[in-house]
Protein backbone atom coordinates (compact mmCIF):
# COMPACT_ATOMS: atom_id res chain seq x y z
CA UNK A 1 0.00 0.00 0.00
CA UNK A 2 1.42 3.40 -0.90
CA UNK A 3 2.36 5.61 2.09
CA UNK A 4 0.00 8.32 0.85
CA UNK A 5 -2.89 5.85 1.17
CA UNK A 6 -2.06 5.30 4.84
CA UNK A 7 -1.74 9.04 5.36
CA UNK A 8 -5.24 9.54 3.93
CA UNK A 9 -6.88 7.44 6.64
CA UNK A 10 -8.64 9.48 9.31
CA UNK A 11 -6.81 9.48 12.65
CA UNK A 12 -4.84 6.26 12.08
CA UNK A 13 -2.85 5.72 15.31
CA UNK A 14 0.81 5.72 14.37
CA UNK A 15 4.28 6.54 15.51
CA UNK A 16 7.45 7.24 13.52
CA UNK A 17 7.64 3.54 12.51
CA UNK A 18 4.07 3.32 11.16
CA UNK A 19 0.71 2.10 12.46
CA UNK A 20 0.53 1.12 16.13
CA UNK A 21 -1.67 -1.57 17.64
CA UNK A 22 -2.61 -2.08 21.29
CA UNK A 23 -3.86 -5.65 20.73
CA UNK A 24 -3.21 -8.40 18.17
CA UNK A 25 -6.78 -8.31 16.78
CA UNK A 26 -6.20 -4.69 15.74
CA UNK A 27 -3.20 -5.65 13.62
CA UNK A 28 -5.18 -8.55 12.15
CA UNK A 29 -8.13 -6.30 11.23
CA UNK A 30 -5.71 -3.79 9.72
CA UNK A 31 -3.96 -6.50 7.68
CA UNK A 32 -7.27 -7.97 6.50
CA UNK A 33 -8.48 -4.60 5.20
CA UNK A 34 -5.18 -4.03 3.40
CA UNK A 35 -5.20 -7.54 1.93
CA UNK A 36 -8.81 -7.36 0.71
CA UNK A 37 -8.10 -4.00 -0.90
CA UNK A 38 -4.94 -5.30 -2.56
CA UNK A 39 -6.94 -8.28 -3.87
CA UNK A 40 -9.33 -5.82 -5.55
CA UNK A 41 -12.42 -6.38 -3.40
CA UNK A 42 -12.61 -2.63 -2.75
CA UNK A 43 -10.47 0.39 -3.47
CA UNK A 44 -8.50 2.11 -0.75
CA UNK A 45 -10.50 5.27 -1.40
CA UNK A 46 -13.70 3.26 -0.85
CA UNK A 47 -12.22 1.85 2.36
CA UNK A 48 -11.22 5.27 3.69
CA UNK A 49 -14.69 6.66 2.92
CA UNK A 50 -16.38 3.75 4.74
CA UNK A 51 -14.12 4.16 7.77
CA UNK A 52 -14.69 7.92 7.84
CA UNK A 53 -18.44 7.34 7.65
CA UNK A 54 -18.27 4.84 10.51
CA UNK A 55 -16.35 7.31 12.67
CA UNK A 56 -18.81 10.08 11.79
CA UNK A 57 -21.81 7.86 12.54
CA UNK A 58 -20.55 6.95 15.99
CA UNK A 59 -19.75 10.60 16.67
CA UNK A 60 -23.31 11.53 15.69
CA UNK A 61 -24.55 9.03 18.29
CA UNK A 62 -22.59 10.94 20.91
CA UNK A 63 -19.82 8.39 21.41
CA UNK A 64 -16.56 9.97 22.58
CA UNK A 65 -13.79 10.43 20.01
CA UNK A 66 -10.73 9.99 22.18
CA UNK A 67 -9.04 7.49 19.85
CA UNK A 68 -9.50 4.52 22.17
CA UNK A 69 -12.15 2.95 19.94
CA UNK A 70 -10.43 3.58 16.61
CA UNK A 71 -9.98 -0.08 15.73
CA UNK A 72 -13.53 -0.88 16.81
CA UNK A 73 -14.55 1.61 14.11
CA UNK A 74 -12.06 -0.05 11.76
CA UNK A 75 -13.63 -3.46 12.39
CA UNK A 76 -17.18 -2.13 11.98
CA UNK A 77 -16.21 -0.51 8.67
CA UNK A 78 -14.56 -3.74 7.54
CA UNK A 79 -17.69 -5.73 8.39
CA UNK A 80 -19.82 -3.22 6.46
CA UNK A 81 -17.66 -3.55 3.34
CA UNK A 82 -17.36 -7.33 3.57
CA UNK A 83 -21.15 -7.53 3.76
CA UNK A 84 -21.72 -4.98 0.98
CA UNK A 85 -19.28 -6.81 -1.30
CA UNK A 86 -20.92 -10.19 -0.51
CA UNK A 87 -17.67 -11.63 0.84
CA UNK A 88 -19.57 -12.79 3.92
CA UNK A 89 -22.85 -12.05 5.65
CA UNK A 90 -23.84 -10.87 9.11
CA UNK A 91 -25.09 -14.32 10.20
CA UNK A 92 -21.84 -16.03 9.22
CA UNK A 93 -19.75 -13.33 10.90
CA UNK A 94 -21.85 -13.58 14.10
CA UNK A 95 -21.49 -17.38 14.13
CA UNK A 96 -17.71 -17.02 13.82
CA UNK A 97 -17.58 -14.44 16.63
CA UNK A 98 -19.63 -16.75 18.85
CA UNK A 99 -17.36 -19.71 18.02
CA UNK A 100 -14.29 -17.67 19.03
CA UNK A 101 -16.02 -16.49 22.23
CA UNK A 102 -16.85 -20.09 23.14
CA UNK A 103 -13.30 -21.20 22.35
CA UNK A 104 -12.00 -18.43 24.60
CA UNK A 105 -14.30 -19.46 27.46
CA UNK A 106 -13.21 -23.12 27.33
CA UNK A 107 -9.47 -22.45 26.98
CA UNK A 108 -7.42 -22.74 30.18
CA UNK A 109 -5.56 -19.61 31.21
CA UNK A 110 -2.19 -19.31 29.52
CA UNK A 111 -3.06 -21.65 26.67
CA UNK A 112 -3.59 -20.46 23.08
CA UNK A 113 -7.19 -20.06 22.01
CA UNK A 114 -8.07 -22.29 19.07
CA UNK A 115 -11.28 -22.99 17.20
CA UNK A 116 -12.56 -26.56 17.13
CA UNK A 117 -11.65 -27.75 13.63
CA UNK A 118 -14.60 -30.15 13.52
CA UNK A 119 -17.18 -27.38 13.98
Q: What is the pLDDT of residues 52-77, one digit of tens each?
A: 999 998 878 877 777 778 899 999 99
DSSP three-state, residue 30: helix
Structural contact between residues 60 and 91, judged by C-beta atoms closer than 8 angstroms = no
Share of the chain above pLDDT 70, in %: 87
Give the length of the chain.
119
Amino acid sequence: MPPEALAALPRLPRDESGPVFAEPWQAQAFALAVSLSEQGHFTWKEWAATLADEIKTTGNRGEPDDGSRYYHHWLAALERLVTAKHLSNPAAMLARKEAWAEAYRRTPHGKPVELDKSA
